[in-house]
Amino acid sequence: NEEELRCIGCGSVLQDQDPKKSGYLPASALKKAMEEENAEVYCQRCFRLRHYNEIMPVEENNDDFLALLNSISEKKALVVNVVDLFDFSNSLITSLKRFIGNNEYILVGNKVDLFPKNTKESKVKDWMRQEANRNGLRPEKIFLVSAAKKKNLDALIDFIAQEGKNKDVYFVGTTNVGKSTLINAILSARSDLKDLITTSKFPGTTLDEIKIPLDNGHYLIDTPGILSKKQLASHLSGKELEVVEPKKPLKPATYQLLPGQTIFLAGLGRFDYVDGPSAGFTIYVARDLYLHRTKTENADEFYKKHKDDLLLPPSKADDLGPLKGQTFRPHQKSDILFGGVGFITVPKDVVVKAYTPDGIGLGIRRALI
Ligand code: GDP
C-alpha cells in the first residue's frame, strides 16, 4: 500500500515491523486499519498512553529529566507538584526549586481520604508549607485532594482553569503519588478537557510527555514519574504494597506503653519507648499490617528470629537495608513519621527511638490530631 497510514496520536507512520520503533501496531491491527476507509488509529504506544497513562518513570537526577525541568523555566507555566500525604517529604521534588524560575508553583497533597475523619486540614497544610519551605520551595497555594475518591477536586480544577489561562500546566510527581489517577479524575470531571491526548518529546531529550490540549490553546502536560530511592514504594513488590498502603481511612490503634517496650510495624518499622511515664501511643497504619509488641531488651533477638516470617514485609527479595534508628525527644505532642507506612502519635516530653530499613522515611511533625 503506497498510502501511508499515520497514528492520530503522535503522527508517526504506522508500521508492524519493530515494536521498539515509533508507530508500531501489531500486524493484525494494522491490516484491519488498512482495510478501513479514513481509519482513525493509534499506534500501540499512544493507545497505551491514552488508556493506561503509561509513561516510563525516570530517576530524579536523570539528565533528560533535568532538561525537561529546565525547559519549564524558559516558559510561562503553572507547575503542579503532586505529593503523597503519607510520604510527603520523600515525594516532594526538591530539585524543582532550581527550575521553577518565576513560574507559579502549587502543591497538591493527594490521598487525603486516608487521614482519620477528625483531621484538621489546616494543620495538614501548615505542616506541608513548613516542610516545603525547609526544602527551599515556596508554593503559592496548597491543595488537599483525594484523586481516588474525587474529593476536593473542584477547587483545584477551578484554580488550574483560572491560573493556567495563558500558560501550560505541568504535572510533576514521584511515582506512586497518584499523579495518573489525579489527571484522569480531572479530565473526567471536565469533559471539555477530555480531548485528544497526544504524545511528543521534549526537544533534545528522550523523555515522553503527554500533552492534553485545553480549550485555550495551551496544554496540560503530564511528565514522567520520578523514581525516588527514598520512597518505600520503589523498593516493595506490588503484593507487598497491597498490605502496606492503606486503602481506607486509617483507624487509630492505641497502645498503653511503659519505657522499655517496643512495637514492630511488620519489618518496616520499629518503635522503642525509651523514657517517660506510662502513656498512650496511637498508631496509624494500614489495617492489614502486622503489629507486634515486645520488650525492648528482646527486640533485636525477636527481629532476627522473625524477620522472614512474622515480620513480613519486606521480604529478602527487596533491596532494603537493615533497620536504622533515630531518637526523638519531642517537647510537644508529635507524630513520628514512618514514610509510606503511617505514623505514631506520641505525648510531649518523652524519649522514643524509631527505626526503618536504612532509616527511609523517618521524620517528625507536630501532631495533626
Ligand atoms: P502515579 O505513579 O503517581 O501515576 O500513581 P497512580 O495514579 O498509579 O497511583 C498510585 C497508587 O496510589 C495506586 O495504588 C492508587 O490506587 C493509589 N491512589 C491514587 N490516588 C489515591 C487517593 O486519592 N487515595 C488513596 N487512598 N489512594 C490513591
How far does residue 183's CA lie from ligand 1's centre (Å)? 11
Kindly report the protein residue whose alpha carbon is nearest to atom 5 of ligand 1.
178
Question: What is the reported pTM?
Answer: 0.83
Kindly report the protein residue whose alpha carbon is nearest to atom 6 of ligand 1.
178
Residue 224, all three cell numbers:
514522567
- Range in 33-42, 145-154, 305-314 the model is least confident about: 33-42
Q: Is the CB of 180 under 6 A from ligand 1?
A: yes
**Structural element, H or E, at residue 130:** helix 121-134
Give, for ligand 1, the residue of 87, 113, 181, 183 to mutate: max count of ligand atoms closer than 8 Å to Cβ: 181
Average pLDDT in the chain: 87
User: E-assigned strands of the chain?
Assistant: 58-59, 77-84, 104-110, 141-145, 168-172, 198-201, 208-213, 219-222, 226-227, 253-257, 261-265, 269-275, 279-285, 291-295, 323-328, 334-338, 342-346, 351-357, 362-366
Cα Rg, the chain, nearest whole Å:
23
Q: Is the CB of 179 under 6 A from ligand 1?
A: yes
pLDDT of amino acid 276: 98
Structure confidence by residue, pLDDT tens digits, 29-68? 888 888 888 777 888 777 766 655 556 667 777 777 888 8
Structure confidence by residue, pLDDT tens digits, 244-302? 988 889 889 999 999 999 999 999 999 999 999 999 999 999 999 999 999 999 999 99
User: E-assigned strands of 46-94?
Assistant: 58-59, 77-84
Kindly report the protein residue whose alpha carbon is nearest to atom 12 of ligand 1.
178
Kindly report the protein residue whose alpha carbon is nearest to atom 17 of ligand 1.
178
Kindly list the structural domains of the chain, giving each domain's residue range(s) and its CATH number in brackets, ordered by start. Answer: 1-51 (no CATH), 58-228 (3.40.50.300), 242-366 (no CATH)
Tell whether the model's pLDDT for residue 197 goes beyond 60.
no
Structure confidence by residue, pLDDT tens digits, 14-31? 889 987 777 888 888 888
Rounded to a whole number, what is the distance in angstroms from the first to the last CA of the chain? 67
How far does residue 159's CA lie from ligand 1's centre (Å)? 22
pLDDT of amino acid 195: 41
pLDDT of amino acid 322: 93
How far does residue 239's CA lie from ligand 1's centre (Å)? 15
* DSSP-assigned letter for residue 312: P
Of 178, 201, 175, which is closest to residue 45 (Cα–Cα)? 201
How far does residue 296's CA lie from ligand 1's centre (Å)? 36
Q: Provide mean pLDDT across the span 210-226.
A: 75
Structure confidence by residue, pLDDT tens digits, 322-345? 999 999 999 999 999 999 999 999
Residue 189, all three cell numbers:
470531571
Structure confidence by residue, pLDDT tens digits, 77-100? 999 999 999 999 888 988 888 888
pLDDT of amino acid 334: 98
pLDDT of amino acid 271: 98
pLDDT of amino acid 232: 87
Residue 100 burial (CB count, 10 A): 19
pLDDT of amino acid 260: 98
- Range in 215-229, 283-297, 339-353 the model is least confident about: 215-229
Closest atom of ligand 1 relative to the 110 alpha carbon: 23
**Contact yes or no for 294/262 (Cβ under 8 A):** yes
**Structural element, H or E, at residue 54:** none
Residue 213, helix vs strand vs coil: strand
pLDDT of amino acid 199: 47
**Contact yes or no for 115/85 (Cβ under 8 A):** yes
pLDDT of amino acid 79: 93
